Structure 1
Amino acid sequence: MNFIFKIADAARVFLQSGRGLSALWKKGGSIASTTILHNCKHYIPEIKTIIDVGANQGQFALSARYFYPRAGIHSFEPVPDVFRTLQQNISKANGISTYNFALGSTNGVLEFFQNDYSHASSALHVSAIQQQFFPQTASEHQIKVPVKRIDDLISNITFEAPVLLKLDVQGFEKEVLKGAAESLDKIDYLLFETSFVPMYEGEPLFDEMHNFVKELGFEFIAPVGFCQTDDLQILQMDLLYKRKSAA
């Protein structure tokens, strides 16, 4: 019965967003990304540049291509196998550039945990809590991936305003922002996932992340997505912020 409800919810999301049911079955089709971007559209009518950090298989980028067709999208995915799937999924989409490295607070090599459930891959260990709620995330192995700072990309990427920085890096969001200290004045909107319980070992939780981005000069707009258990406990939420000096 839960499966039927989930299919009904998926159909409702795609129909209300205007994408149509056919988009749900295409490569890279995502209920979560469609929901998040549908909600973002209410607050951000236009975006010219999207920095998509933690691109996975292109779910967010392909949804963003629908909602913001004029935006230049830059998608970063460090896991080689997943990156190849990303490239395949966006091969027929215009305006999406892909990069096979992680973003963080340093340049060099990052110890990274590739999860058998690719959405859960992270620079941090999956916690026991996440394994309890989502057993499919229990298996992971360590790899090494190149890592760069956003600050070092400014000369190679044109940040045409308005700019959205989207972070879905499984508890590593604060480290990515630390590597963007010189670039934040180019970021108009910030979208990231934060946890209310530790889904990864050592990840900063909601209060810490909220206060951190406020100190960086961003103000909270609204929640635009969430992850909850079957008994309706909210574990994570996708939050949208705006730089205070942005128009």
Structure 2
Amino acid sequence: MQTLYRRLLRLMPRLGVRVTDLAPGTALLSRRGRYTVKPAGNDAWLVLKGPSKAWTSVPLGESGAQLLLGEKSAADERKLQMAASEYLCMQHVTAMFRLYGVNCVLDVGANHGQYAKRLRRHGYRGRIVSFEPTAEAFARLSKAAENDPEWHVHHLGLGREESTAEIHVGWNTMNSLLPASDYGRDRYKRFHTTRTEEILVRRLDDVLDEALDGIDDPRPFLKMDTQGYDLEVYAGGGERIADFVGLQSEVAVLRLYEGSPPMGESVATYEAGGFEITGMYPVTREAATGRVVEFDCVMMRPKALAG
């Protein structure tokens, strides 16, 4: 005898609703056949908009994960790799947060809040303290954080010394306290024109107590994306750098800014502070040569796991 559920499903096509039976008690309903279903392994289905033949499910080794590729995915290898790298970096970072018990992220060079939003999408619910010195970007950052009580924002930059400074603006996500290098100007048209804005700069060790206020047993993580200025931010941490269980820094293989440190110098400085690499993820690559321009370098302090 048919159940009421099954009898109702049989009526759906008469109403212009397509029914795809997936399993006992489970069905996909779609208007006018706009969605199709493709098996993706045991007890799993891919719900696709468009013809299913346009998509390929690729197993990721023995992890059990599947990568869904469209017909055009492989046409731009660099774009696909960059998107995958960003996702895998954030997945790795949040996994390290769980392993090391991170409960506060200092997001230095926050821009519009992109990094913090990614952390939230990947499940991190602890405190985020974002620092953004430029007025336009800070206005957007404040808007992004306004409904998140655990996301605090500060209108300032961090560096080696407390001061005021001139930052190059109008470069979108690439505003920097450093001038563009010859290589940078050749690569990005946005560097051909610039204006400057006066900003306030403070030391990391001067803002850390406020950032951690109210957190029992703070386990902070330092994320830096300051367009060539990360080592200056790090230097401003002084002895308080030892309080951090991990960090993420954008390190340059091909330098976009005059005076920015090469990757080897940056990594060696962080290693001298007790941090060790857990992941390296390309941020940008040259389309013509395939060379990596910058990496996101994730490092943790293994001794922080003790106890």
For residues 154-233 of structure 1, what are the structure 2 equivalents within 5 Å? 154-158=208-212, 160-231=217-288, 232-233=290-291
With structure 2 as the length reference, what TM-score do the two structures score?
0.68
Give the direction of change, closer, same or farther, for the CA distance of 1:112–1:2 in structure 2 (3 Å limit): farther
User: For 1:161 and 1:132, how far apart are their aligned partners in 2?
Assistant: 44
48-57 or 148-157, larger mean C-alpha shift = 148-157
SS, match of residue 126 in structure 1 = coil
Determine which structure has more spread, i.e. the larger CA radius of gyration: 2
Structure 1 pair 179/235, CA: closer, same or farther in 2 (3 Å)? same
Q: Are the aligned partners of 1:127 and 1:199 in contact in 2 as well (CA < 8 Å)?
A: yes
Provide the C-alpha distance between the structure 2 equivalents of 1:103 and 1:82, rounded to a whole number of angstroms: 16
- Counterparts of residues 68-147 of structure 1 (less than 5 Å): 68-114=123-169, 116-147=170-201
Shift of 1:60: 0.3
Choose the corresponding residue for 2:92, options 39, 43, 68.
39
> Is 1:246 matched with 2:304?
yes
Cα distance change on mapping 1:92 and 1:3 into 2, 3 Å: farther
> Match for residue 51 of structure 1?
106
Rounded to whole Å, the distance in 1 between the matches of 2:224 and 2:257 is 15
Change (3 A) 1:92 1:100: same
Taking a change above 3 Å as real, the CA distance of residues 69 and 221 of structure 1, as seen in their structure-2 partners, is: closer
Tell me the distance in 2 between the aligned counterparts of 1:224 and 1:108. Answer: 33
Structure ranking higher in strand proportion = 2
Superposed, 1:61-72 pairs within 5 Å as 61-72=116-127
With a CA cutoff of 8 Å and minimum separation of 6, indicate the structure with the bigger relative contact order.
Answer: 1
Query: Shift of residue 244 of structure 1?
Result: 3.9
Q: Supply the AA of the counterpart residue of 2:272.
A: E
Q: What are the Cα deviations for residues 176-235 of structure 1, in whole angstroms up to 9, with x where unaligned?
A: 111001211210011000101221001001011111111122112221343111132101
Matched AA of 1:136: R
- Please give the root-mean-square deviation of Cα atoms over the aligned residues, in Å: 2.6
Contact 1:52 1:61 in 2 (8 A): yes
Secondary structure of 2:209 counterpart = coil
Q: Which residue of 2 aligns with 1:28?
A: none
- What CA distance in whole angstroms lies between the structure 2 residues aligned with 1:102 and 1:168? 11
Q: Which amino acid aligns with 1:118?
A: N
Is the aligned partner of 1:152 residue 2:206? yes
| TM-score with structure 1 setting the length | 0.83
- Counterpart code for 2:298: L
Q: In the aligned structure 2, how far is the partner of 1:90 from the partner of 1:3?
A: 36
**Cα contact 1:39–1:224 (8 A) shared by 2:** no
Deviation of the 1:3 alpha carbon: 11
Q: Which runs of 5+ in 2 are unaligned?
A: 1-71
Provide the residue aligned with 1:21 in structure 2.
none
The count of residues paired between Structure 1 and Structure 2 equals 228
AA matched with 1:185: A
Q: Percent identity?
A: 22
Code of the aligned partner of 1:235: V
Which amino acid in 1 is paired with 2:112? Q
CA shift, 1:90, in A, is: 2.5
Larger mean CA deviation between 53-62 and 148-157 belongs to 148-157
- Cα offset, 1:35, TM superposition: 4.4
Amino acid at match of 1:47: V
**TM-superposition CA deviations, 1:68-105 (whole Å, max 9, x none):** 43210000000011100111223233411000000001
Which range is displaced more, 95-104 or 42-51?
42-51
